[in-house]
Structure 1
Amino acid sequence: MFKHKLIPLLLPVAAALSLAACAGVQPVPYTAISSSPQLKQNRDDDSSHVPYKYVEPVVWSRYTQVVLDPVAVYQGADNQFGDMKNDDRTELANYMAETFAKKLSKRFDVTKQAGLNTLRVKLTLTGAEKTTPIVGQVMHFDIAGNLYNGVQAVRGGQGAFSGSVSYAVEIYDSSSGKLLKAYVSKQYPNAMNLPAAFGSLSAARTGLDKGADALVSQLR
């Protein structure tokens, strides 16, 4: 009986799969981000997750401490939250602050004081997509959905009707105030990650986990 109830839902979903690859949030070099004038289109292999970036030649190993600014929720007109409620935006910003601080503390001593050999990291949550209720979960059990998500997983692409998170990272030398690195990123779970499909913000949280790991690996 459950299978028969799903048929009316799955038919339009299957038809929509051909459009899923080009749907969703595509980050921009957000105009109200202070580093926006320096951001350039990224043409490297990681461009699907980091479409815009700026980087100076830096010996990251000489930095041993980090100051973390409070995570900002982007208010510019080109934000990509859609109709997401402010409470959800705040929840994601709080999770971002906790997650990035935890990950960065494995590489740096976290401090509140600027100084020599100390980075200042500014994080701005710029957008997010929720996983589409019911459909996002059904895609992991439907044959067509599983095939699509399997291909996306291999490509490193976003799962069908899955959520995501977009944000900006700006890294400064805390003593001189010089911008060392900046980028805009979009992160989401592996397309075959079933647990991340449950809960409207689970995919965005998983994306923040991945983003924090990616940042730490770049600063080694």
Structure 2
Amino acid sequence: MQFPMKTNALIALALCVAVAGCGTAKPVDYTGLASSAQLAPNTQDDAGRVPYRFSTPVDWRHYDSVVIDPVVIYRGSESQFGTMSDASKTELANYLQAKFEKALTKRFTLINGPAPNALRVRLTLTGAAASTPVLSTLTRFDISGGLYNGVQTVAGGEGMFTGSVIFVTEIFDSETNRLLRADITKQYPSPMNIMATMGSLAAAKTGIDKGADAMVASLK
């Protein structure tokens, strides 16, 4: 597939910017969270996607049910939504709620209030970036964009012009309200996932899908 010279020039320019370090925002240590005082830089292998974490030794098999609080959209000064509209933030928050409920109910019974052997999960949407319409798809086919996205795929990085999502997961014992684990997570699709470029919020939603599955897998 070939594109007009002007398009190729723009893509090549964008490639140079990207290689120089351009990308969507990195999560920060948000100060307006219940877990802010406990969160610390993550030194484990997944630090690229989960840069901040708090955890205690927990036998997750002790828990068989879960309370899921309504998703909160972070309003602090460190929020990382750029110019994203409130409508898009709300759409992503609703999607975050639905996907985590669906994922968690594969492992836990969903309940409405504190109970023995029950977790409470609080999700906070702290940032997101939309994909750039058209360019996010075209760069999967253009030679220069394809090379960059191929390198990013191997490195586990983000694709060119592709969106992402940042959210916080805080897990408590529902009876004692003791914080068991907290993660600040950034998720995004594989750079070669063409379907995730179809729509401005598709990449962020794919990131939410990945984050929900990863969290449930970690609670077994």
Q: Common fold, TM-score beyond 0.5?
A: yes
Matches within 5 A, 1:103-182: 103-182=103-182
**Alpha-carbon offset, residue 202 of structure 1:** 0.3
Cα separation, partners in 2 of 1:9 and 1:62, compared to 1, 3 Å: same
Instruction: Provide, for residues 118-171 of structure 1, a one-character-per-residue CA deviation record: whole Å limited to 9, x for no partner.
Output: 000000000000112222112101111111111111111111121000000100
Which consecutive unaligned segments of at least 5 residues does structure 1 have? none
TM-score normalised according to structure 2 size: 0.96
Per the normalisation by structure 1, the TM-score is 0.96
Tell me if 1:82 matches 2:82.
yes
Bigger mean CA deviation after superposition, 132-141 or 177-186: 132-141
| Structure 2 Cα separation of the partners of residues 4 and 79 of structure 1 | 38
* Unaligned 5+ runs, structure 2: none
Question: Shift of the alpha carbon at 1:22?
Answer: 4.4
Q: Secondary structure at the match of 2:37?
A: helix
Match of 1:218 in 2: 218
Provide the residue aligned with 1:203 in structure 2: 203
1:23 Cα shift? 2.1
Give identity over the alignment, percent: 47
What is the number of equivalent residue pairs in this alignment? 219
Q: Is the 8 A contact 2:67 2:118 kept in 1?
A: yes
**3-state SS in 1 of match to 2:44:** coil
Question: Residue in 2 aligned with 1:190?
Answer: 190
- Tell me if the contact between 2:8 and 2:142 (Cα under 8 Å) persists in the aligned partners: no
The CA RMSD measured in Å over matched residues stands at 1.3
Name whichever of 5-14 and 175-184 sits farther off. 5-14
Q: Which residue matches 1:12?
A: 13
Structure 1 residue 8: deviation in Å?
Answer: 3.9
Q: Distance in 2 between matches of 1:12 and 1:139?
A: 12
**How many Å apart are 1:10 and its aligned residue?**
2.6
- How far apart are 1:24 and its partner, in Å? 1.3
